[in-house]
Structure 1
């Protein structure tokens, strides 16, 4: 791991600086990898920033800390920020922060819509869905939003229909759907096969590989971008490796921390466009972004990683 003192030396030598708490200067040892959005060819950084369960709680105690995180995201080469109206104050806090910092146009905004809930037969009020979307535009301070997805597959015919119209009006650049529920995967697969999606958002981790069976191959076949959520199994993977040293062979694909180990596994699947681990700490963000630098595991290394993690006792 690069210490703060090492980072300072490296960044001074490279002429790079980053405005972080305590005037910390951070090195950027290699460019952040990018991947193309299949439907357009636009390239985005492979590691972004999620905000579920982090931004809202932090905003209550220390809103300035979130300024530091968003500033670090773009100055370290990232761009994708994933949020949703259901993530508490995440949209509002992030929107105000980037406008205050003058970096709004450097962020790839990915938000969501759902006024129907998770149930397969739940119906969305179109007026309520449009109102929620307009509130997102207002909170983010944008005339165009990069990506809006139907959250948790809520009433896809109604809500995706609204997003299609917004895309045709060029108010939304990309549209999609999300699901992090295995029982809902059949509906997700059906939607992927029948709708003109630019993106899907799914849960995927080294110990949660169900999407490898059908969803990721179908995304590649249908030229659908993939945002990955919960790459740490929320806290599950951290609990499994607690007290354990990173294996020496992780250096073969440039992983220097457990976080990078987990993220590089996800990123090494060619169907994955971007992974968005949630954090409200600059140090965690910079470590996460490190997973998008240097080498990624090959097929043999992926199998070794899986065998190692699967061989550990399950998280308590």
Structure 2
């Protein structure tokens, strides 16, 4: 009789096999995912992870978590470990924490969450921030959370001070700050230059390359890891490519079999990037995303060709 874990694994693989070539499945099992080192420690993590915003968040809020359990099982079975969430993503953090504990996979996940308590009336509220962080510990079930970041550079002096304190106490392994808003890049850059953070989370995509110009050079200089958010530009890139086929030259050069792999490989190719964490609520999409983490990544010349190709498409 199949265990629940084996059932989830087989269900995820069966669904994905309908759309992915067997060569990709073999590569994922035999080659393993590309890994990148976290700059401050040298610890390696797989370059493809999972985010929990968007449709993941919606499904978590619906109370129907079986499909999300399959997504997380697919992440782990495919060699991924990095899982990004936030208290502000509705029920995503609580539901995914329960799933991971049910699967007995607490120690297999590199758990990246956030603290997101904005000041009220301009007044900081450290007690609310601490309470939110403690809820994250309860949901996740780990003695030491791998990464907590200040979400969208909100009240950095208050919230970063708290997570620095918790890192010193050994309750958080890495700390950071996030932004997916270009208007906040200057503030983010200032924090990066003046605070001892380990990570940032930021938006970066084939048609959204500003972070590579303004932020990634600071990451390289300061030894800061990067989690890439929104490699699909939410739905923007899907709208731009429409029903076009992936260019043959991209498939031949780096083995991409889908637009998801095209977009993710572009983002992962930048040497400052530690992991790319696209959100999904579908197991076959998770497996497709993981396929971007095997084989070759585009070199600079190919990255330019990929960017030029997308730039020439009509804007979404």
TM-score, normalising length: structure 2: 0.91
Structure with more of its chain in helix, by fraction? 2
> Equivalent residue of 1:288, what SS?
helix
Corresponding residue of 1:35: 36
| Distance in 1 of aligned mates of 2:288 and 2:97 | 24
| Matched positions, count | 298
CA drift at 1:23: 7.0
For 1:237 and 1:291, the matched residues in 2 are separated by: 16
Match of residue 197 from structure 1: 197
Distance in 1, Cα, partners of 2:196 & 2:174: 10
Deviations 1:11-54 (A, max 9, x none): xxxxx997232872862413100000000100000010000122
- The DSSP-based 3-state class of the residue aligned with 2:227 is strand
Q: Which residue of 2 aligns with 1:94?
A: 96
* CA-to-aligned-CA distance 1:101-145 (integer Å, 9 cap, x gap): 11111000000001116x9x9443011100000000001111110
| Aligned-residue CA RMSD (Å) | 1.8
Q: Distance in 1 between matches of 2:315 and 2:82?
A: 32
Q: Does 1:21 align with 2:11?
A: yes
User: Matches of 2:36 and 2:26 in 1, distance apart?
Assistant: 19
CA distance in 1, matches of 2:105, 2:26: 19
Ranges in structure 1 where 5+ consecutive residues have no aligned partner: 1-15
Larger RCO (CA under 8 A, 6+ residues apart): 2
- Normalised by the length of structure 1, the TM-score is 0.91
**Relative to 1, partners in 2 of residues 1:21 and 1:184: Cα closer, same or farther, differing over 3 Å?**
same
- Residue 214 (structure 1) aligned with residue 214 (structure 2): yes
CA distance in 1, matches of 2:262, 2:170: 38
Deviation at 1:239, TM superposition (A): 0.4
List per-residue Cα deviations over 1:142-161 (Å, max 9, x = no partner).
11100000001011111000
In structure 1, C-alpha distance between the alignment counterparts of 2:210 and 2:44, rounded to whole Å = 26
- Alignment of structure 1 residues 1-316 onto 2, 5 Å: 19-21=9-11, 24=14, 27-29=25-27, 30-59=31-60, 60=62, 62-116=64-118, 122-251=122-251, 252-315=253-316
Q: Please tell me whether the aligned partners of residues 12 and 283 of structure 2 are also in contact (alpha carbons under 8 angstroms).
A: no
